[in-house]
Structure 1
Amino acid sequence: MTHVVLNQVLAIFLLTAFGFVLKKINLLNDGFTKSSSDLIVYVTLPAMIINSMDREFSKDVATTSLQVFLTGAIMYGFTILLAILLVRFRKYEETQRGVYMYMVIFGNVGYLGYPIMNVLYGEIGVFYSAVFNIWFNILTWTIGVSIMARGRLNFRRILINPGLLSTLFGLFIFLTPLRLPTLVKSVLDSVGSMTTPLAMFLVGAFLAEAHLKDFVAEIDLYLASILKLVVAPALVYLVMSYTDLPTIVKVLPVVMAGMPSGVNTAIFARMFDKDYKLAAQGVVLSTALSMISLPVLILMVVR
Structure 2
Amino acid sequence: MASTILYKTAIMLILIGVGILCAKTGLISKASNRDLSKFMLQVVNPVVIFMSYQTDYRSELVRNLLLTFVLALGTMALAIALSYLFVRRKEGREFEIERFSSVYSNCGFMGIPLVNAIYGSEGVFYLTAYITVFNLIVWTHGVILISGEKDFRQVVKVFYSPTIIAIFLGMITFFLRIRLPGAAAEALGLIKEVNTPMAMIVSGVTISGTNMMKMLKNHRVYYICLLKLMIVPLIISVPLSLLSEVDNTVRMTVLVAAAAPPATMCTLLSLRYGKNSIYASEIFAAGTILSVVTLPLIVKTTEHLTKIL
The TM-score normalised by the length of structure 1 is 0.93
| Residue from 118, 121, 132 that aligns with 1:120 | 118
Report the RMSD for the aligned CA atoms in angstroms.
1.9
| Displacement of 1:222 | 1.6
| Displacement of 1:217 | 4.0
Q: 1:5 to 1:76 in 2, by over 3 A?
A: closer
Q: Hey, what does 2:35 align to over in structure 1?
A: 35
The yes-or-no answer on 1:247 pairing with 2:248 is yes
The alignment partner of 1:245 has SS state of coil
| Displacement of 1:301 | 4.6
Q: Is the 2:210–2:285 Cα contact (8 Å) retained in structure 1?
A: yes
Q: Is the 1:137–1:163 Cα contact (8 Å) retained in structure 2?
A: no
| Displacement of 1:223 | 1.4
The yes-or-no answer on 1:287 pairing with 2:288 is yes
Letter of the 1:109 counterpart: C
The alignment partner of 2:30 has SS state of coil
Q: Hey, what does 1:220 align to over in structure 2?
A: 220
Gaps of 5+ in 1: none
Cα deviation digits, residues 76-114 of structure 1 (max 9, x gap): 0221012111333x51448x2321111111110011000
Q: Hey, what does 2:79 align to over in structure 1?
A: 79
Q: Hey, what does 1:7 align to over in structure 2?
A: 7
Q: Percent identity?
A: 22
The alignment partner of 1:177 has SS state of coil
Distance 2:167 2:115 in 1: 16
Q: Is the 1:225–1:285 Cα contact (8 Å) retained in structure 2?
A: yes
Q: Hey, what does 1:148 align to over in structure 2?
A: 146
Cα deviation digits, residues 15-61 of structure 1 (max 9, x gap): 12222222222222232320110110111111111111112211011
Q: Hey, what does 1:173 align to over in structure 2?
A: 173
Q: Is the 1:236–1:253 Cα contact (8 Å) retained in structure 2?
A: no
Q: Hey, what does 2:136 align to over in structure 1?
A: 138
Moved more, 215-224 or 248-257: 215-224
Distance 1:72 1:4 in 2: 23
Aligned residues: 301
Distance 1:302 1:168 in 2: 33
Q: Is the 1:148–1:274 Cα contact (8 Å) retained in structure 2?
A: yes
Q: Is the 1:74–1:236 Cα contact (8 Å) retained in structure 2?
A: no
Distance 1:221 1:5 in 2: 24
| Displacement of 1:192 | 1.3
| Displacement of 1:147 | 0.8
Letter of the 2:98 counterpart: Y
Q: 1:92 to 1:184 in 2, by over 3 A?
A: farther
Distance 2:195 2:303 in 1: 23
Moved more, 214-223 or 30-39: 214-223
Q: Is the 2:13–2:289 Cα contact (8 Å) retained in structure 1?
A: no
Q: Hey, what does 2:272 align to over in structure 1?
A: 271
Q: 1:107 to 1:162 in 2, by over 3 A?
A: same
Cα deviation digits, residues 145-172 of structure 1 (max 9, x gap): 1111221332332221121111111111
| 1:61-80 paired onto structure 2 within 5 Å | 61-80=61-80
Moved more, 203-212 or 3-12: 3-12
Q: 1:92 to 1:222 in 2, by over 3 A?
A: farther
The runs of at least 4 consecutive aligned structure 1 residues that moved more than 4 Å come to 1-5, 299-303
Distance 2:275 2:27 in 1: 32
Q: Is the 1:251–1:302 Cα contact (8 Å) retained in structure 2?
A: no
Q: 1:288 to 1:184 in 2, by over 3 A?
A: same
Q: Is the 1:6–1:299 Cα contact (8 Å) retained in structure 2?
A: no
Distance 1:83 1:4 in 2: 30
Q: Is the 2:4–2:118 Cα contact (8 Å) retained in structure 1?
A: no
Letter of the 1:292 counterpart: V
Q: 1:274 to 1:9 in 2, by over 3 A?
A: closer
Cα deviation digits, residues 194-216 of structure 1 (max 9, x gap): 11110010111122221222224
The alignment partner of 2:28 has SS state of coil
The yes-or-no answer on 1:55 pairing with 2:55 is yes
